[in-house]
Amino acid sequence: MILTVTLNTALDITYRVRELHPHASHRVSEVTERPGGKGLNVARVLAALGHEVTVTGFTGGATGRIVQDQLTGTPGVLDALVPVSGATRRTIAVVDELTGDTTQLNEPGPTVTSAEWTAFQEAYGSLLPGVSAVALCGSLPPGVPVGAYAVLIKSARAAGVPVLLDTSGEPLRRGVAARPDLLKPNTDELAELTGSHDPLRATQDARRRGARTVVTSLGARGLLAATPEATWHATPPTRIHGNPTGAGDSAVAGLLSGLVEHLPWPDRLARAVALSAATVLAPVAGEFDRAAYEELLGRVAVTREVSAA
């Protein structure tokens, strides 16, 4: 069982319009909605790969009930979300069908009380003994301490459970110092953490700050992984065009599944890149095109760059 943590869950709503213009009215051609937040996206992909997943985090209000109702119908995903008095947020993605570009609007999420945060920590601790890996994903809702991920990483490490961290800003800075097994930033998040805009140097610097392994998303150029043994660069076979929403979460699912299956690093990275590209190609944001994934998997190039510092 894999555990994903989404402290700031969401109901993801996607609108498709023929062409998006500021300051204008638009006729929406299609609307889709699904449970969202980074950890729930990761869980859905893991379940599609055949892994059993438990999801936890906060949920509340009418939007939270919709999220939980939809999770009930997702095979392989177990709902262990913790209730709060506030309402789960919504995220709105507007897809321009002419250009393929996506405009994203993200609500902040409910304000979490100290009692609710304490209740979550107790629920999280009770789940750890039964899981093989933990993913801590996304932003923190208002009221949750900025060092929350550092606390959760320490709990996972104490339980002997490997933990992946995928967040940004000060929660990332605090979290990396708690020594997660795997850090998964993008280049902007990594530059903010380290002060370096050179991905190779910044990735190795993040390891020195506490992370055992750092896998950096390079966008269309794939993934750069600094592990204790070596540095690897995985690239898709061709430039992929489409909606990138959820592509990073699919990469996290690929890395986590490879971890629990004990795959060698080149295979983990190839899976992560292929899943990410197949998500960009999917018609619905945050899903992945299985046929594209299977076709791309064998064509991802993984090269060993230099020994990790």
User: What are the catalytic residues?
Assistant: 249
Cβ pair 253, 279 in contact under 8 A: no
- The b/e string for 10-26 (b: 16+ C-beta within 10 A; e otherwise) is bbbbbbbbeebeeeeee
State the distance between the two ends of the chain, measured CA to CA, in whole angstroms: 33
Tokens of 79: 């709902």
How many other CB atoms are there within 10 angstroms of residue 72's CB atom? 8
Tokens of 181: 């097994």
The residue whose two tokens read 């939270």 is 64
- Rounded to an integer, what distance in angstroms lies between the CA atom of residue 46 and that of residue 40? 10
In order, the DSSP letters of 118-166 are HHHHHHHHHHGGG-SEEEEESPPPTTS-TTHHHHHHHHHHHTT--EEEE
- Rounded to an integer, what distance in angstroms lies between the CA atom of residue 249 and that of residue 295? 20
What is the rounded radius of gyration, in angstroms, for the C-alpha atoms of the chain? Answer: 18
Tell me which residue of 283, 297, 294 sits closest to 237, measured CA to CA. 297
